[in-house]
């Protein structure tokens, strides 16, 4: 990352803090599989910006739709993580994600907030002045990409059509209009920035310039060779991958169930080693294809109709005719 002398601007460093704790100045709140990882990676190269490596997922950690892996049933007893911001212990955990960063601007990347019904009010209660960034993508392509992410991370053994029924987050994650309205109602439009994945892909520098200007940070020149951080691989054999996921799924879920462990908790070394072994030595050998299997025409037709309805009014909401960008989507 490099600055040009004329690009660097003087701006006040924001401070989102309460009770001596540092909270994020901006949040990349979704949607999943819309280029948020690449945006995260680029912004983290900025001299004045720092973002925790992992997604934080604090304000919706108790949502079984967004995070089914975070909850479990132990002898008919529900075990879950509290995301209630009123609890000081919870806030201490949340603030702990950022206290190691001394940058002028601190960000958070939690891509499920956009589809969460509870996250907007919880975020506003803790960081009412935070800037919110959302990236949107063709709803059908986003849903299909999320399915392949579930396959890659051993979370499903289902076909795409079966997964649409079993995993409500696939469709909810592509219903942008309702989520954006919740955040507009809570924060107002001045604190919300919406970027399209398609624009980011075509001109990532322009998109990043808009984002840095939005959060008030100095302009940055991005390294084009480091733009696409999260390049996806797909299974060479879906049948073999789905069979392997029968074994790999429990290993993955056990790790995610400890999402909000405190630093004093003893790490489960066996669990972590098994998780590492699965992705390093098993999954890496299965995920070797550059492209996914094509979606059936019948499924695509259904999704175009259904996701057009879920996003009714989105073009008007954003002040842009999205039909010219998202083929087959009338919103």
R_g of the chain computed on alpha carbons: 20
User: Domain of 139: which CATH number?
Assistant: 3.40.50.300
Calculate helix-pair angle for 204-215, 36-44, nearest 10 degrees.
70
Of residues 83 and 184, the one with the higher pLDDT is 184
Range of the domain at 23: 16-324
pLDDT in tens, 219-259: 999 887 666 655 678 888 888 888 888 887 777 766 666 66
The number of domains in the chain is 1
Q: Is the residue at 302 inside a domain? A: yes
Q: Is the residue at 1 inside a domain? A: no
pTM over 0.85: yes
Q: Where are the beta strands (DSSP E) in the chain?
A: 16-18, 21-23, 26-28, 49-50, 72-74, 77-79, 105-109, 131-136, 192-196, 234-235, 287-289
Give residue 311's pLDDT band: very low, low, confident or very high (50, 70, 90).
very high
50 in Cβ contact with 44 (< 8 Å): yes
Q: Is the residue at 230 inside a domain? A: yes
Mean pLDDT of 164-188: 97
Q: Please check the confidence at residue 4 and state whether its pLDDT lies above 50.
A: no
Q: What is the mean pLDDT of the chain?
A: 85
Q: Is the residue at 329 inside a domain? A: no
Tokens 């979704």 — which residue?
Answer: 30
Q: What is the Cα–Cα distance from 234 to 220, expressed in whole angstroms?
A: 33
pLDDT in tens, 63-97: 888 888 777 778 788 877 676 666 778 888 899 88
Q: Is the residue at 10 inside a domain? A: no
Q: Is the residue at 3 inside a domain? A: no
What per-residue string of b and e applies to 29-48 under the rule 16 or more CB within 10 Å gives b? Answer: bbbbbbbbbbbbbbbbebeb
In angstroms, the Cα distances linking 18 to 88, 127, 217, 263 are 12, 9, 22, 21
Q: Mapping DSSP to helix (H, G, I), strand (E, B) and coil, where does residue 105 land? A: strand
Q: Is the residue at 4 inside a domain? A: no
Determine the longest span between alpha carbons in the chain, in angstroms: 63
Which residues, 6+ apart, have CB-to-CB distance to 169 below 8 Å? 65, 66, 112, 115, 146
Q: Mapping DSSP to helix (H, G, I), strand (E, B) and coil, where does residue 314 land? A: helix
Q: Tell me the two tokens of residue 179.
A: 């989520």
Q: Is the residue at 2 inside a domain? A: no
């Amino acid at each position: 990352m490099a600055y040009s002398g004329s690009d660097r601007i003087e701006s006040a460093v924001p401070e989102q803090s309460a009770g001596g704790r540092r909270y994020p100045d901006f949040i990349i709140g979704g949607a999943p599989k819309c280029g948020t990882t690449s945006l995260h990676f680029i912004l983290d190269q900025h001299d004045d910006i720092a973002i925790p490596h992992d997604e934080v997922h604090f304000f919706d950690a108790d949502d079984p739709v967004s995070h089914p892996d975070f909850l479990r049933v132990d002898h008919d007893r529900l075990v879950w993580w509290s995301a209630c911001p009123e609890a000081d212990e919870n806030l201490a955990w949340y603030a702990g994600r950022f206290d190691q960063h001394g940058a002028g601007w601190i960000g958070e990347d939690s891509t499920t907030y956009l589809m969460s019904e509870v996250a907007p009010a919880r975020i506003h209660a803790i960081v009412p002045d935070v800037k919110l960034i959302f990236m949107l993508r063709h709803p059908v392509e986003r849903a299909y990409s999320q399915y392949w992410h579930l396959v890659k991370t051993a979370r499903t053994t289902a076909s795409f059509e079966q997964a649409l029924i079993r995993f409500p987050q696939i469709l909810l994650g592509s219903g942008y209009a309702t989520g954006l309205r919740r955040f507009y109602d809570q924060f107002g439009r001045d604190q919300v920035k919406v970027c399209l994945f398609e624009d980011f892909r075509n001109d990532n520098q322009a998109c990043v310039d808009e984002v840095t200007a939005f959060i008030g940070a100095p302009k940055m020149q991005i390294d084009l060779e480091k733009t696409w951080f999260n390049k996806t691989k797909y299974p060479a054999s879906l049948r073999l991958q789905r069979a392997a996921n029968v074994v790999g799924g429990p290993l993955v879920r056990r790790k995610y169930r400890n999402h909000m462990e405190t630093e004093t908790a003893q790490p489960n070394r066996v669990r972590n080693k098994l998780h590492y072994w699965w992705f390093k030595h098993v999954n890496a050998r299965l995920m070797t294809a550059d492209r996914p299997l094509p979606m059936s025409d019948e499924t695509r037709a259904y999704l175009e109709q259904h996701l057009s309805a879920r996003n009714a009014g989105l073009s008007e909401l954003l002040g842009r005719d999205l039909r010219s960008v998202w083929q087959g989507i009338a919103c």
